[in-house]
A and B are shown apart, each in its own frame.
Chain A
Amino acid sequence: KAGVTQTPRYLIKTRGQQVTLSCSPISGHRSVSWYQQTPGQGLQFLFEYFSETQRNKGNFPGRFSGRQFSNSRSEMNVSTLELGDSALYLCASSWTGGGSNTGELFFGEGSRLTVL
């Protein structure tokens, strides 16, 4: 069974640009969450999508947005990039259909964004 796939793995942008990151969840997983990881702030929750609807949102500015498609794939977008947006962006998917593994997060390897 394929794991969570994130693309691109690495990217470099300049301030003011925007970026779109993609996440393909494990087959059958309908929930996708996004986290930002930085050395200073650690791992912080961005948002969670389930069945194409944002179900939960962390404390990030409106420049950070996301969406989920009917096949559960998700994208997140960051507009007007700032130097502080440099981070590892992790996507996680989870099974929500009941059983002992319900809600367990499976993480991708992340997309490392550098803003210059």
Chain B
Amino acid sequence: AQSVTQPDIHITVSEGASLELRCNYSYGATPYLFWYVQSPGQGLQLLLKYFSGDTLVQGIKGFEAEFKRSQSSFNLRKPSVHWSDAAEYFCAVGAQAGTALIFGKGTTLSVSS
């Protein structure tokens, strides 16, 4: 079955510390992978995407993610977290670019001062 697992429901990180959000997927075909961020009361904003090529992808707001096919993972990282990064983060996978995405349940990030 196709699925996306985000093992961490809630993570708290100190401002300035590094961040890694985990994402594991189960997908039969070559996956298209995405990370989205959602602030309270807002829609989803795309942070980064992986379609093919270099397995380390750079996104907006200083985020990056690494695709590891052998581990079926696509973890999101940021070297130094800012208070404004507090939000909910979603990993998603699809068969082709953009349509019928399967989303993980999300990880809520809190940033402490």
Task: List A residues at the B interface (Cβ < 8 Å).
Answer: 4, 31, 33, 35, 42-45, 48, 55-56, 58, 90, 92, 94, 102-110
Given that A42-B106, A43-B90, A104-B49 are known contacts, is A31 also in contact with B98, CB under 8 Å in the complex? Answer: yes
Q: How far is the CA of A110 from the CA of B96 in the complex (A)?
A: 24
Q: How many residue-residue contacts, CB under 8 A, span A and B?
A: 60
Nearest first, the 9 A-B pairs at minimum CB distance are: A103-B97, A103-B98, A107-B43, A43-B103, A107-B44, A94-B98, A109-B43, A42-B105, A56-B100
Whether B102 sits at the interface, judged by CB under 8 Å, is yes
Whether B41 sits at the interface, judged by CB under 8 Å, is yes
Task: List B residues at the A interface (Cβ < 8 Å).
Answer: 32, 34, 36, 41-46, 49, 90, 92, 96-106
Q: Give B103 Cβ to nearest chain A Cβ, in Å.
A: 4
B92: chain A residues within 8 A (beta carbon): 43
Q: Is the CB of A110 within 8 A of B105?
A: no
Q: Give A8 Cβ to nearest chain B Cβ, in Å.
A: 14
B102: chain A residues within 8 A (beta carbon): 45
User: Which residue on chain B has the smallest CB distance to residue A9?
Assistant: B41
Partner of B43, one of A90, A103, A104: A90
A90: chain B residues within 8 A (beta carbon): 43-44
